[in-house]
Amino acid sequence: MLLPGFPGIATSLGLFAIVWLIVFLRTKSAPFSFDPGGVEGEFGKGLLPIYLDITKLMLGIAAGSIVLLVGSSNLVQQSSGRSLRSFASPMFMVAMSIIYGVLFMTFLVLRYEHHRHNPAPDSYTRFKYSGNQALGFSALACFCIGYAWLVVDATK
């Protein structure tokens, strides 16, 4: 017998692998820079806080949703006669959006700091760039797909 959330687990891991592969293959091998337009420190002042704020908002909504659904599990069972097991896959997708989002923020800041302290042209590689992109877009995709899946399951 498979884990109740196995479809969500497989979907979220497969989604990450596909997104990373697409980003990696579409990205040309070149030195990457965090500094847009070649202006040193511009990423840290302008774009980094925006990326982190958007990710924090998504993480807050995702975590709140999981807590609300688990906290109201008695009401869900009484009103529909269904247990939380039926929501395991979409909840796992939403949980993976949290994990991918935290990893995205961590690696983005870590790699930016490394770039600032080691500004060599090859300090931010294609592998690191595609990893950051894959984590960010996988977090967003898991969040959206998990929520849509949750709505579909809840309205059955």
pLDDT tens digits for 98-143? Answer: 999 999 999 999 998 888 887 776 778 888 889 999 999 999 999 9
**Which residue, among 84, 89, 93, has the nearest Cα to 62 in the 3D structure?**
93
**pTM for this structure?**
0.87
CA separation for the pair 69, 149 (Å, rounded): 14
